[in-house]
């Protein structure tokens, strides 16, 4: 938290000048590297949420969010600009007008479907920001994304809801469980070729961890869902269930339930 607070102050110090803000973000992006500066991105979104989108900041964020892969390639410092902007747009959603909300939704959808993996994460983080401000605003967004023709958009919805602060309340937890089950079904319907394609693999990786977060928040219904999918004859689905059972959030805190689902998995695997 100290690092995030320090980042926040550096953002505030230069917020009046777009060029200075952009230079700060590029200089401290952490890219190229294995890990972008997540604290700076979060601090920037915090400041935008507090200070609003006046003084031309709306234009900054849209410009940065629209940077394409040829302008801001993976692991280049410029990739940090759409990564940051997408999260900041999510932070601005609650205070935005109708037309602005539509633009924010389009930016999040674009990030979710982008080929750059960091933008996938930015889309999920932006949705989480919206949900923490107003669950009623997030619910139709994630429902729509889960039904989107793009598997990457659906993936963003699932990962966004795999967020413990959101799942502390009953309505988000119920929605997350239904959405996780829906995406198990969607993955089950994919052909082998679709599963091997990039988007199918990205969805599969999300299914290997995100449901465990949801199940930890709603264990009775959640383990029932995992047990049902554990009995499937689909080997990929079995592997997905097994990956969730291995997560410490389940294995450590729900050993009996994990053992029961594991037994179902073993029986159906034979």
pLDDT digits (tens, 9 = 90+) for 214-250: 999 999 999 999 999 999 999 999 999 999 999 999 9
Average of per-residue pLDDT across 210-215: 98
Q: Take residue 109 and report the two structure tokens written for it.
A: 């959808």
Q: Mean pLDDT of all residues in the chain?
A: 96
Specify the pLDDT at position 53. 83
Statement: residue 149 has pLDDT above 90: yes
Specify the pLDDT at position 268. 64
Statement: residue 270 has pLDDT above 60: no
Statement: residue 176 has pLDDT above 90: yes
The residue ranges of every structural domain in the chain are 1-133, 137-270
Per-residue pLDDT tens digits for 25-65: 999 999 999 999 999 999 999 999 999 888 789 999 999 99
* For the chain, percent of residues with pLDDT exceeding 90: 95
Average of per-residue pLDDT across 182-199: 97
Residue 162 dihedral angles phi and psi, to the nearest 5°: -80, 60
Angle at 249 between CA 245 and CA 255, to 5 degrees: 60
Contact 245, 211 (CB under 8 A): no
CA 237 to chain centre: 21
Q: Take residue 241 and report the two structure tokens written for it.
A: 């269930």
Q: What 3-state DSSP class applies to 115?
A: coil
Confidence grade of residue 164 (pLDDT, cut at 50, 70, 90)? very high
Per-residue pLDDT tens digits for 73-115: 999 999 999 999 999 999 999 999 999 999 999 999 999 999 9
Specify the pLDDT at position 269. 62
Statement: residue 160 has pLDDT above 80: yes
Confidence grade of residue 6 (pLDDT, cut at 50, 70, 90)? very high
Cis, bond preceding 32 (omega within 30 deg of 0): yes
Between CA 169 and CA 139 the distance in angstroms is 13
Between CA 93 and CA 58 the distance in angstroms is 11
Per-residue pLDDT tens digits for 54-81: 878 999 999 999 999 999 999 999 999 9
How far does the chain reach from its first CA to its final CA, in angstroms?
49
pTM (2 d.p.): 0.95
Confidence grade of residue 2 (pLDDT, cut at 50, 70, 90)? confident
Specify the pLDDT at position 267. 83
């Amino acid at each position: 938290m100290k690092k995030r607070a320090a980042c926040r102050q550096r953002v505030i110090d230069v917020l009046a000048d777009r060029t200075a803000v952009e230079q700060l973000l590029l200089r401290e992006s952490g890219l190229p590297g294995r890990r972008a500066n997540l604290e700076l991105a979060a601090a920037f979104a915090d400041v935008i949420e507090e200070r609003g989108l006046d003084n031309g900041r709306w234009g900054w964020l849209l410009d940065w969010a629209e940077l394409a892969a040829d302008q801001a390639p993976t692991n280049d410092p410029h990739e940090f600009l759409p990564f940051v902007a997408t999260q900041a747009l999510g932070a601005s959603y609650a205070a935005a007008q109708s037309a602005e909300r539509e633009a924010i939704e389009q930016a999040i959808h674009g990030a979710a479907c982008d080929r750059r993996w960091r933008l996938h994460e930015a889309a999920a983080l932006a949705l989480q920001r919206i949900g923490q401000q107003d669950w009623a605003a997030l619910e139709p967004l994630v429902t729509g994304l889960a039904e989107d023709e793009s598997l990457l958009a659906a993936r963003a919805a699932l990962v966004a809801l795999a967020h413990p602060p959101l799942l502390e309340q009953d309505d988000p937890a119920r929605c997350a469980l239904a959405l996780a089950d829906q995406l198990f079904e969607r993955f089950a319907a994919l052909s082998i070729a679709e599963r091997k394609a990039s988007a199918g693999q990205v969805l599969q990786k999300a299914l290997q961890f995100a449901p465990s977060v949801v199940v930890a928040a709603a264990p009775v219904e959640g383990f029932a869902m995992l047990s049902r999918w554990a009995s499937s004859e689909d080997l990929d689905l079995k592997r997905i269930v097994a990956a969730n059972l291995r997560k410490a959030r389940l294995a450590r805190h729900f050993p009996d339930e994990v053992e029961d689902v594991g037994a179902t998995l073993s029986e159906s695997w034979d």
